[in-house]
C-alpha cells in the first residue's frame, strides 16, 4: 500500500488496522508526508516502528505498530510514481486534511486556487516535454508538485505506462462522500493534461468511500517522554489515541486489500447514513465545542463538555442532526451516549484550537448540511446556526490582537473580517454556502452574543 499524509491519524487508524489484521506482515505501507519531510525522517530512523498509546480513564496501554515499511518525503514524486507503478501496490490511502482536496462549492477541483493553478502548469509542461521527447525515452517526473492530487496523477500515469493494472484509492479524510472527493481532485488534475490518462483513471482506479473514526490528538513532547519512561524506547513518533475505533468502507478493491475486517472494519454497500452520523454527531459537535468552548475559556473537548452551557448547546445540535439520521440500524441514541463518554475522556487532551483550524471547509460538511435540512423541514436550524455564529466570534476573538486565521481560505476570510463590521455575518455565512439566505444570516447574527454569560 501507499499512503499520503503521514500524520497522527494514519498511525492510529489505517496503520493500526493493517497491523492488527495482518500479523504475518503480508502487507506493508509506504507512507509519504504531505508537506515537510520531518515525519518521514523521524519514522525512517525508527524503521517505520512507533508506539501506539491507547488511553482511557483506566490507564495507558502501549503497543508497537509495525505495518509502515517505508517513510518518504511527499515531495519525492519520483519514488511515489515508482511505488504506484508497481503491480505489487494494491491500495492508496489518504489522510491529507480537508482543504488539501482543493474542491470548490460545486464539488469540482478549484482551478482558481493558486496552488492548483501552479501544479496544473507544472503538469502541462511535463506532459508537453514528454510529447516532444523521442518515443521510449523515460522522462523524470516533475519534482515541484505541491498538491496530493497532482502527485497522484503522476503516479497513475506511471502505473498506466507500466501496465500495473487497477487499484483502489481510499480517502480517510473527514469529508462527505470522500471517495468522490478524491476522484474529483485527481481527475481535475488529469483531465486538462491528458484525456487518455483521465479515462485510464476512471476505468482502473476504484475510489472507495470510508467513514473513519478514532479520536487522535496531535502528539506532544509529554507523550514522547511518557513513552520513553514506560517502554524504555525514545520513540519520537508515538501516537496517543482512544480505545474506540471504527472504519466503514464502501467500494471495490480490484487488486486486493488487507483483511481489515479481522480488526473490526465493516464493508457496506450503503455508507452515506453512517458517514453523516459520524460527520454530524461527532465532527459537528467537535466544531461546536471548538468555537463555543474556546469562547467560554476552555482548552480541551473534555473541559468543554463538562460545562453545562456547552453541553446544552451540544444536545440541541444533536437533536437537530438526529431528525435527519433516520436510517434503520444507526442506533442514534446509543451513538450519542457513546460520544458523551468518548468526549468526557479527560485523559485524552484534545485541544479545541486544533479542531478549530480549517473551519470553513469543516463547517461546510459538519454544520451547513444539518442547517439546510432543518430549514427545508420548516424549522429554524438554530442549533446548527449557533456553530456558525461561534465560528465567526472565535475568528474575531481578541480583537486587533487576534491570531492569523488558521484556514486555507484565510485570505478571503481576512478580507471579510476587515470589511464593514455590519457585513461580517452575511459575508462569512454566504462564503460558507450561498444557499444560506437572509433569514439564516439574521439568525446567525442574533446568536452572536456574549458567550461567557
Ligand X SMILES: O=P(O)(O)OC[C@@H](O)[C@@H](O)[C@H](O)[C@H](O)CO
Ligand Y SMILES: NC(=O)c1ccc[n+]([C@@H]2O[C@H](COP(=O)([O-])OP(=O)(O)OC[C@H]3O[C@@H](n4cnc5c(N)ncnc54)[C@H](O)[C@@H]3O)[C@@H](O)[C@H]2O)c1
Sites of contact with ligand Y (CB under 6 A): 5-10, 33-35, 95-98, 100, 148, 173-174, 212, 214-216
Q: Is 213 an interacting residue with respect to ligand X (CB under 6 A)?
A: yes
CB of 343 to ligand Y, least distance (A): 12
Among residues 19, 355, 395, 408, the one that binds ligand X under rule CB under 6 A? 355
Closer residue to ligand X (CB): 286 or 336: 286
Q: How far apart are CA 219 and CA 238, in angstroms?
A: 7
* Residue 54 contacts which entry, ligand Y, ligand X, none (Cβ below 5-8 A, type-dependent): none
Residue 258 near residue 15 (C-beta atoms within 8 A): no
Q: Is 281 an interacting residue with respect to ligand X (CB under 6 A)?
A: no
CB of 235 to ligand X, least distance (A): 22
Q: How many residues bind ligand X (CB under 6 A)?
A: 9
Q: Report how far apart, in Å, the C-alpha atoms of 97 and of each of 100, 178, 265, 358, 413 are.
A: 6, 11, 21, 9, 19
Closer residue to ligand X (CB): 237 or 282: 282
Closer residue to ligand Y (CB): 71 or 429: 71
| Binding span for ligand X by CB under 6 A among 21-29, 213-221, 385-393, 406-414 | 213-221
Helix (H, G, I), strand (E, B) or coil at 97: coil
* 96: number of Cβ within 10 Å: 25
Pairing mode, strands 246-250 and 205-213: antiparallel
Helix (H, G, I), strand (E, B) or coil at 112: coil
Q: Is 282 an interacting residue with respect to ligand X (CB under 6 A)?
A: yes
Residues whose CB is less than 8 angstroms from the CB of residue 149 and which lie 6 or more positions away in sequence, other chains included: 101, 102, 109, 119, 185, 186, 188, 189
CB of 271 to ligand X, least distance (A): 15
Q: Report how far apart, in Å, the C-alpha atoms of 299 and of each of 169, 213, 289, 314, 360 are.
A: 36, 22, 10, 17, 21
Q: Which residue is nearest to ligand Y (CB)?
A: 7
Pairing mode, strands 50-56 and 239-241: parallel
Q: How far apart are CA 448 and CA 390, in angstroms?
A: 7
CB of 438 to ligand X, least distance (A): 30
DSSP for 295-330, please give it.
Answer: HTT--BHHHHHTSHHHHHHHHHHHHHHHTT--STT-
* Residue 157 contacts which entry, ligand Y, ligand X, none (Cβ below 5-8 A, type-dependent): none
Residues 149-188 binding ligand X (CB under 6 A) are: 174
CB of 280 to ligand X, least distance (A): 11
Closer residue to ligand X (CB): 98 or 184: 98
CB of 257 to ligand X, least distance (A): 21
Closer residue to ligand Y (CB): 212 or 356: 212
CB of 95 to ligand X, least distance (A): 9
Q: List the grid coordinates of 57.
A: 480513564
Among residues 102, 214, 298, 386, the one that binds ligand X under rule CB under 6 A? 214
Pairing mode, strands 68-72 and 167-171: unpaired
* Residue 355 contacts which entry, ligand X, ligand Y, none (Cβ below 5-8 A, type-dependent): ligand X
Residues 86-115 binding ligand X (CB under 6 A) are: 98
Closer residue to ligand Y (CB): 151 or 160: 151
Q: Is 304 an interacting residue with respect to ligand X (CB under 6 A)?
A: no
Q: How far apart are CA 102 and CA 117, in angstroms?
A: 11
CB of 360 to ligand X, least distance (A): 12
Among residues 215, 387, 428, 441, the one that binds ligand X under rule CB under 6 A? 215
Buried b (16+ CB within 10 A) or exposed e, 182-196: bbbbbbbbbbebbee
Q: Strand order of the sheet with strand 91-94?
A: 68-72, 29-32, 2-4, 91-94, 167-171, 205-213, 246-250, 266-267
Q: Cell 442506533 appears where? A: 331
Q: How far apart are CA 67 and CA 334, in angstroms?
A: 33
Among residues 51, 89, 283, 322, the one that binds ligand X under rule CB under 6 A? 283
Q: How far apart are CA 80 and CA 155, in angstroms?
A: 6
Give residue 148's Cα distance to chain centre: 13
Closer residue to ligand X (CB): 226 or 355: 355
CB of 71 to ligand Y, least distance (A): 10
Closer residue to ligand X (CB): 157 or 213: 213
CB of 307 to ligand Y, least distance (A): 22
Closer residue to ligand Y (CB): 320 or 358: 358
* Residue 276 contacts which entry, ligand Y, ligand X, none (Cβ below 5-8 A, type-dependent): none
Build a one-symbol-per-residue string for 11-50: x at contacts with ligand X by CB under 6 A, - elsewhere: ----------------------------------------
Q: Is the dihedral of CA 338, 344, 347, 351 positive or negative?
A: positive
Which stretches of the chain bind ligand X, using CB under 6 A?
98, 174, 213-215, 282-283, 286, 355
Amino acid at each position: 500500500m501507499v499512503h499520503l499524509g503521514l500524520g497522527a491519524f494514519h498511525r492510529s487508524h489505517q496503520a493500526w488496522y493493517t497491523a492488527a489484521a495482518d500479523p504475518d506482515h503480508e502487507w506493508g505501507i509506504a507512507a509519504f508526508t504531505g508537506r515537510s519531510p520531518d515525519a518521514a525522517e523521524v519514522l525512517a530512523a525508527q524503521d517505520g516502528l512507533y508506539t501506539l498509546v491507547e488511553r482511557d480513564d483506566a490507564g495507558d496501554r502501549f503497543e508497537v505498530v509495525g505495518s509502515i515499511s517505508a517513510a518518504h518525503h511527499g515531495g519525492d514524486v519520483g519514488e511515489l510514481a515508482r511505488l504506484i507503478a508497481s503491480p505489487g501496490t494494491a491500495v492508496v490511502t489518504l489522510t491529507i486534511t480537508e482543504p488539501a482536496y482543493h474542491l470548490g462549492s460545486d464539488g469540482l477541483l478549484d482551478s482558481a486556487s493558486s496552488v492548483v493553478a501552479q501544479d496544473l502548469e507544472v503538469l502541462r509542461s511535463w506532459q508537453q516535454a514528454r510529447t516532444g521527447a523521442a518515443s521510449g525515452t523515460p522522462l523524470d517526473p516533475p519534482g515541484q508538485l505541491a498538491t496530493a492530487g497532482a502527485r497522484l496523477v503522476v503516479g497513475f500515469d506511471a502505473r498506466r505506462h507500466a501496465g500495473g493494472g487497477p487499484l483502489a484509492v481510499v480517502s480517510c479524510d473527514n469529508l462527505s462522500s470522500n471517495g468522490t472527493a478524491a476522484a474529483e481532485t485527481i481527475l481535475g488534475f488529469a483531465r486538462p493534461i491528458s484525456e487518455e490518462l483521465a479515462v485510464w483513471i476512471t476505468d482502473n482506479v476504484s475510489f472507495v468511500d470510508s467513514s473513519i473514526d478514532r479520536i487522535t490528538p496531535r502528539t506532544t513532547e509529554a507523550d514522547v517522554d511518557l513513552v520513553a519512561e514506560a517502554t524504555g524506547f525514545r520513540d519520537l513518533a508515538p501516537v496517543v489515541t482512544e480505545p474506540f475505533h471504527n472504519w466503514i468502507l464502501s467500494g471495490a478493491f480490484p487488486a486486493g486489500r488487507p483483511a481489515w475486517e479481522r480488526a473490526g472494519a465493516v464493508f457496506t454497500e450503503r455508507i452515506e447514513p453512517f458517514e453523516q452520523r459520524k460527520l454530524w454527531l461527532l465532527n459537528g459537535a467537535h466544531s461546536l465545542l471548538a468555537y463555543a468552548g474556546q469562547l467560554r475559556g476552555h482548552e480541551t473537548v473534555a473541559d468543554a463538555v463538562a460545562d453545562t452551557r456547552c453541553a446544552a448547546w451540544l444536545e440541541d445540535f444533536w437533536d437537530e442532526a438526529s431528525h435527519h439520521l433516520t436510517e434503520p440500524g444507526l442506533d442514534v441514541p446509543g451513538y450519542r451516549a457513546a460520544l458523551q463518554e468518548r468526549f468526557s475522556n479527560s485523559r485524552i487532551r484534545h485541544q479545541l484550537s486544533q479542531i478549530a483550524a480549517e473551519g470553513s471547509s469543516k463547517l461546510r460538511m459538519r454544520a451547513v448540511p444539518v442547517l439546510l435540512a432543518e430549514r427545508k423541514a420548516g424549522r429554524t436550524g438554530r442549533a446548527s446556526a449557533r456553530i456558525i455564529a461561534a465560528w465567526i466570534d472565535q475568528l474575531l476573538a481578541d480583537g486587533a490582537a487576534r491570531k492569523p486565521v488558521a484556514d486555507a481560505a484565510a485570505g478571503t476570510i481576512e478580507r471579510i473580517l476587515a470589511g464593514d463590521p455590519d457585513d461580517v455575518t452575511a459575508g462569512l455565512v454566504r462564503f460558507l454556502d450561498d444557499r444560506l439566505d437572509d433569514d439564516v444570516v439574521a439568525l446567525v447574527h442574533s446568536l452572536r452574543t456574549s458567550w461567557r454569560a
